[in-house]
Structure 1
Amino acid sequence: MTAHTMQIHDPSATDIVDEADVYTELLPLDGARLIELGCGAAAHTRAIAETGRPASVLACEVDDIQHGKNLEATDVPDTVTFARAGAEAIPAAADSADVVVMFKSLHHVPVEAMDSAMAEIARVLRPGGLAYISEPVFAGDFNEVLRLFHDESEVRRAAFEAVRRAVDGGVLELVEQRSFHTRNDFDDFADFEDRVLGVTHTEHDLSPELYEQVRETFEGYMVPGGARFVMPIRVDLLRCPG
């Protein structure tokens, strides 16, 4: 597959899977020196490190508040090191990583810095090393709620175009694209408010009127047991040339 045949969304992909099954299949984790960019609350960091497979995990997060919480965590394997850093300036030496992963974080990189982030990924990867870039596709019911206060359609397209430019320019080579759905479930609106409206990396300052509109729209998806969404995901698996 070339850069010109890459697609931002494959509507024919309808499988609902646990993303851990996808990256476990695609990535050579045994003994890997792994860097995670935009680790957030470090859920994936923990899951990967707890397998005992990677030799080391450098988990980078640009948000000061979340990074501080990560540093205070006591349930993280000692193979993990946290760093306060963005994808456009990775605190690692050239050719020092076997695997770089981004879980739904490239679209949070400032648009003007996305090309620099792709170049940084290529810099820190050893020749033949792999980058796993997972991005949510702006489609589906969940985004009908999200777009009311935070329309990410443009930044998600910009993230896709940055990957495509990197492949087109030979910065990284495309191994494959993988499309699937993951579950994105909430117990109730309070759970949504905590996990989505309350994130520290983006300030969602909703007016009382918009807040009520978001709440009413969200509750339209409530069924017994909570609100059940599926989120379309695209993974671009890339290789460092050489």
Structure 2
Amino acid sequence: MTKPNHTPRTALSVILEELAPISGLSVLDVGCGAGGLCAPLENAGAIWRGVDPFPTDQNDQIDTAPAQAMPYDDAQFDAAICVNALHHVPVSAMPGALGEIARVLRPGGRLVVIEPKASGPLSQVIAVIDDETDIRTAAQDAMDSTAALTQTKAYDYPRAERYADFQAFCDSLTAVDPARAAQIATQHEALNRAFLQHATREGAGFTLSQPMSLRVFTPAIVRHG
């Protein structure tokens, strides 16, 4: 594994570095949510397409499908990204999802997977309402054991998330998973205590750090024809 980078970075900066030169590449964003990376990657010259299991009417470039059953031809994309999404795939479907990504990548194509580690201040706060230790570990295990992809690079780096206040933090949690609203309401006081304990005040806002895991893969099987 490459030596960890201890300078806070963003998912966008890491993707642009690992897929350079990205201009002209067709990039599939697996588990893209509402498509937050669409505009910045298109601005960098990528041809962006997103897929997510939950339907959205905000972007007609997003297809509705689970990662383990994507509606694309073999070898359709130059690259793929999976940002904070693999651990949201059902554990039993993780191997299938990685296999599907390998299938839709062209020979020599690159997959960039960014996953939160099961540690760090942000994870400790979120664990008050949603402890993701097991599913994050399962995502790492699935990448360790996949036969569909060959890992070419791996390293950890810190991410810094900034929030105006505790309510902004809660809003960010429900944006990822609306079902968390009920948990936040039930554990509001405990969540607030944990937020104030682990967050660092910066100016008028707060920062929570989160160690991230990055892995880069290529398809393991060379396709012919």
Does 1:158 pair with 2:130? Answer: no
- Whether 1:239 and 2:221 are equivalent positions in the alignment is no
Counterpart of 2:65 in structure 1: which amino acid? A
Structure 2: 5+ residue stretches without partners: none
Question: 1:69 corresponds to which residue?
Answer: 58
Residue 41 of structure 1, CA deviation: 2.6
Q: Distance in 1 between matches of 2:175 and 2:13?
A: 26
SS in 2 for 1:227: strand
- 1:208 is displaced (CA, Å) by 4.9
1:115 maps to what in 2?
95
Partner in structure 2 of residue 76 of structure 1: none
User: Retained in 2: the 8 A contact 1:39–1:61?
Assistant: yes
Alignment pair present for 1:100 and 2:80:
yes
Query: 1:151-230 to 2 correspondence within 5 Å?
Result: 151-166=131-146, 169=147, 171-196=148-173, 198-199=174-175, 201=177, 203-204=179-180, 205-206=182-183, 208=185, 210-220=187-197, 221=199, 223=201, 224-230=203-209
Q: RMSD value over aligned CA atoms?
A: 2.0
1:57 equivalent in alignment to 2:37: no
The residue aligned with 1:144 is: 124
Please report how far the alpha carbon of residue 108 of structure 1 lies from its aligned counterpart in structure 2 after TM superposition.
0.5
**Is residue 82–residue 114 contact of structure 2 (8 Å, CA) maintained in 1?**
yes
Describe the shift of the 1:207–1:125 C-alpha distance in structure 2 as closer, same or farther (beyond 3 A): closer
Deviation string 1:147-191 (CA, Å, 9 cap, x unpaired) is 11100011011111111111xx3x111110021112111110110
Q: Deviations over 1:42-75 (max 9, x none)?
A: 2212211122x22x221112123xx23334xxxx
Number of residue pairs the alignment of both structures matches: 217
Helix, strand or coil at the partner of 1:68: coil
Q: TM-score, normalised by structure 1?
A: 0.83
SS in 1 for 2:58: helix
Please state if 1:35 is matched with 2:11: no
**Cross-structure match for 1:18:** 10
Deviations 1:105-132 (A, max 9, x none): 0001111110100110111011111111
Name structure 1 gaps, 5 residues minimum: 1-5, 72-80
SS in 1 for 2:49: strand
Distance change >3 Å, CA 200–CA 147, structure 1 → 2:
closer
Structure 1 stretch displaced more, 92-101 or 200-209: 200-209
Deviating above 3 A after TM superposition, structure 1's stretches of 4 or more consecutive aligned residues are none
Distance 1:207 1:173 in 2: 40
* Cα distance between partner residues in 2 of 1:200 and 1:240: 29
Q: Equivalent residues in 2 for 1:71-90 (5 A)?
A: 71=60, 81-90=61-70
Percent sequence identity is 25
CA distance in 2, matches of 1:137, 1:208: 26
